[in-house]
Amino acid sequence: AQSVAQPEDQVNVAEGNPLTVKCTYSVSGNPYLFWYVQYPNRGLQFLLKYITGDNLVKGSYGFEAEFNKSQTSFHLKKPSALVSDSALYFCAVRDSAAGNKLTFGGGTRVLVKP
């Protein structure tokens, strides 16, 4: 069975500082990994995904994520956070052996303070 863990319920960071949101996963086949962001009272917006190839994936709004197979992690990063990055972030995984089903982590709330 596939699973995702986001160990931090909330991350607080000052504007301009680097932002990291952690994600670890478990699959039996090859992992396909996704990050989504949810702004208040909105649906989920796709940020980026890792399928294969380079371990560093670049996505929307200046975000990037690093795939680490040995640590089974896919942490989301942004070099310089903005107040507008304050939102709820979800990591999700698909197991190559499990079809289209997407499993989500519990979410991490990011608060960027001015």
Partner 1 sequence: NAGVTQTPKFQVLKTGQSMTLQCAQDMNHEYMSWYRQDPGMGLRLIHYSVGAGITDQGEVPNGYNVSRSTTEDFPLRLLSAAPSQTSVYFCASSYSGALETQYFGPGTRLLVL
Contact residues for partner 1, defined by CB under 8 A: 4, 6, 9, 32, 34, 36, 41-46, 49, 51, 90, 94-96, 98-107
Q: How far is the CB of 42 from partner 1 (least distance, A)?
A: 6
Q: How far is the CB of 100 from partner 1 (least distance, A)?
A: 5
| Distance separating alpha carbons of residues 86 and 104, to the nearest angstrom | 19
Using alpha carbons, select from 20, 77, 69, 19 the residue that is nearest to residue 48: 77
Which CB, 15 or 22, lies closer to partner 1? 22
Give the pair of three-digit tokens for residue 35.
Answer: 């990050």
Q: How far is the CB of 93 from partner 1 (least distance, A)?
A: 10
List Cα–Cα distances, 33 to 5, 27, 40, 74, 98, in angstroms.
12, 11, 23, 7, 13
Give the pair of three-digit tokens for residue 94.
Answer: 């698909």
Which CB, 15 or 96, lies closer to partner 1? 96
Which CB, 3 or 12, lies closer to partner 1? 3
